[in-house]
Amino acid sequence: MNGAIVRLAQLFVRARRPVAFTGAGVSTESGIPDFRSPGGLWDRFDPSEFTYQNFIGSVGGRMRYWELGRVTYPVIRAARPNAAHLALAELHRLGRLDCCITQNINDLHQRAGLPPDRIIELHGNATRARCLECGVGYPRDEVQAWFQAGGEVPACPTCGGVVKPTTVLFGEAMPAPAMEEAERRSRAADLFVVLGSSLVVYPAAYMPAHAKHAGATLVIVNLEPTPLDGQADLVIRDKAGTVMAAVLGDVRTGMGIGMQSTKAGS
């Protein structure tokens, strides 16, 4: 393990365009459950009820979604960035991270200090909402408070339209700008580090394949095997926070003994 940590730290120090890709395994280290795992949320709720079509199609469908949010959102809101989030933010500050592509919707990368323009959210963000009619944005805290106070499906105060969190629901189109930017950054990367993702949710899981096919060094840090392990240059079976905290320490050491830092590409 120590050898793998040293190697990954060296890769970060030497890379010109290092990119991180984070999945649910990073969130679970902050106490946010993985919905898909045994005992997770989808064992208690039927995911087929929470489609985009159901949400926009009826008041009842929206009510079911906001009832789910009554359970899930307080957990997301109470979570705090862990060692993986903090390490990525610090690597960016040191010029050792181009961007972070994330499948997570919890805003923890931003709260750890990673600049928003260096975070590409493939599945949206649960802490923000917007009106589907007029496009006005609202903090999720505000919308959640409307629902908690009145028990009715939130409607836009500006136009009366449907208000929806900016997360991507089942059956909803992926955000094209984020997908395009993620693919561009992946193909431009010379180091692509997967942290806490099973790499089974597509199209997000195409990103490490894009990077590898374009010539990047591919590293996978995950507790369980992934479909891309056979293509990876380095696989580390451990928690993302444990690995990245150690990597950050070695990066600092490496940069402090004469290895000049260059600002990661934009």
Residues annotated as catalytic are: 123
- And the tokens for 5? 């940590």
- And the tokens for 42? 């989808």
Query: Do the beta carbons of residue 223 and residue 197 sit within 8 Å?
Result: no
- And the tokens for 92? 């960016």
Q: In this structure, what is the dihedral angle of CA atoms 247, 2, 11, 185, given to the nearest 10 degrees?
A: -60
Q: How far are the Cα atoms of 55, 66, 161, 180, 211 from residue 133, in angstroms, in the given order?
A: 14, 18, 5, 25, 37
Question: Which residues on adjacent β-strands are paired with residue 138?
Answer: 129
Cα separation, 233 vs 171, whole angstroms: 34
Cα separation, 131 vs 134, whole angstroms: 6
- And the tokens for 85? 């989030």
Q: Tally helices (H) and strands (E) across the chain.
A: 10, 9
Q: Which residues contact 98 (CB under 8 A, 6 or more apart)?
A: 17, 18, 19, 118, 185, 188, 189, 264, 265, 266
